[in-house]
């Protein structure tokens, strides 16, 4: 039986995905409006309060377009508006996908079965070992490994903000606009992949370019070893999605929630 609230329910903003700062902000607005209405009519104020509370409960928010303006509010007020980092950058620069795939097949990293591509067990194990070794490194040695794996990089640095760790690859051009920001688990996966490819794929540009497509083969999380599953990008208030494109299919860790690849 379909619920009468079914058509107004917004599962993407409620339940596990509810953004509490948005809920609190909307509740405060609702109380303020109800108090204002109470000067005119107490019955109307009660109706506003009840209807507003129902809307916040089933829709996740009341004020229209909260998911669109909340990130801007979050930047002004010292409230964590559940900032959802966008998709991570990658070590590699533009490369021909056919060349990368051909190199990976020739190196016995990937095998094709009809339309489906698989990672060889041997490469997966080698990659896993490299990632495990990188995870043990202190920041200084880790950023050296990142800079070493990234083509045309002069260095790298670790940045920690709001509980989110990113690795920034500094380009040899010295231009800030050429910097690439990788989420920490993505950096682990990509640098591990580049290192696992050493000795198998001779072109360092192809090794770096292969790192991003290889992330789609991850089965365990590079940072916590949790199970990787296919899901959709979180549509919280911090990350309004493009309504024309719909929710984006991503690979994310079932344990820590880190987004590991966009499908
Ligand atoms: Zn994880």
pLDDT of 107-137, one tens digit each? 999 999 988 999 999 999 999 999 999 999 9
The alpha carbon of 168 and the centre of ligand 1 are apart by a number of angstroms equal to: 20
The alpha carbon of 227 and the centre of ligand 1 are apart by a number of angstroms equal to: 7
- pLDDT(75) > 60: no
Return the pLDDT at 221.
96
- pLDDT(1) > 50: no
Q: In terms of pLDDT, which residue wins out, 57 or 81?
A: 57
Kindly report which listed range (8-17, 125-134, 178-187, 222-231) carries the lowest average pLDDT score. 8-17
The alpha carbon of 222 and the centre of ligand 1 are apart by a number of angstroms equal to: 7
The alpha carbon of 252 and the centre of ligand 1 are apart by a number of angstroms equal to: 8
The alpha carbon of 157 and the centre of ligand 1 are apart by a number of angstroms equal to: 22
Q: What residue spans define the domains of the chain?
A: 11-76, 97-216
The alpha carbon of 221 and the centre of ligand 1 are apart by a number of angstroms equal to: 5
- pLDDT(236) > 50: no
% of residues, the chain, pLDDT over 70: 78
Return the pLDDT at 164.
82
Return the pLDDT at 65.
67
Q: In terms of pLDDT, which residue wins out, 56 or 99?
A: 99
Model confidence pLDDT, tens digit, residues 85-114: 567 888 887 778 899 999 999 999 999 998
Q: What is the DSSP string of the chain?
A: ---TTTTT--GGGSGGG--HHHHHHHHHHHHHHHHHHHTT-HHHHHHHHHHHHHHHHHHS-SSTTHHHHHHHHHHHSSS-------S---S-----HHHHHHHHHHTTSEEEETTEEEE-HHHHHHHHHHHHHHHTS-HHHHHHHHHHHSTTEEEEEEEEETTEEEEEEEETT--GGG-EEEEHHHHHHHHHHHHHHTTT---HHHHHHHHHHHGGG--B-TTT-PBEEEEE----TTSPPPTTT-SPEEEEETTT--EEEE-
Return the pLDDT at 42.
93
- pLDDT(196) > 90: yes
The alpha carbon of 188 and the centre of ligand 1 are apart by a number of angstroms equal to: 12
The alpha carbon of 191 and the centre of ligand 1 are apart by a number of angstroms equal to: 17
């Amino acid at each position: 039986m379909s619920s009468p609230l079914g058509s107004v329910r917004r599962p993407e903003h409620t339940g596990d995905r509810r953004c509490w700062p948005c809920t609190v902000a909307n509740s405060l607005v609702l109380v303020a409006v109800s108090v204002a209405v109470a000067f005119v009519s107490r019955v109307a104020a009660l109706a506003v309060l009840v209807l507003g509370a129902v809307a916040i409960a089933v829709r996740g928010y009341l004020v229209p377009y909260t998911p669109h303006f909340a990130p801007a509010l979050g930047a002004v007020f010292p409230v964590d508006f559940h900032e959802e980092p966008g998709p991570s950058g990658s070590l590699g620069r533009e490369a021909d996908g056919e060349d990368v795939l051909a190199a990976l097949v020739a190196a016995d990293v990937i095998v094709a079965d009809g339309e489906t591509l698989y990672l060889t067990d041997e490469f997966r194990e080698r990659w896993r070992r490299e990632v495990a070794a990188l995870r043990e490194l202190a920041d200084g040695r880790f950023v050296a490994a990142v800079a070493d794996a990234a083509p045309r990089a002069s260095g790298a640095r670790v940045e920690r903000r709001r509980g989110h760790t990113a690795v920034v690859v500094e380009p040899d051009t010295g231009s800030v606009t050429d910097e690439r920001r990788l989420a920490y688990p993505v950096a682990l996966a990509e640098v591990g992949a580049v290192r696992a490819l050493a000795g198998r794929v001779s072109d360092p540009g192809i090794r770096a370019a292969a790192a991003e497509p290889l992330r789609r083969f991850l089965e365990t999380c590079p940072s916590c070893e949790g199970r990787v599953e296919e899901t959709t990008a979180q549509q919280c208030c911090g990350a309004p999605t493009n309504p024309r494109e719909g929710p984006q299919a991503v690979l994310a860790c079932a344990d820590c929630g880190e987004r590991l690849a966009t499908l």
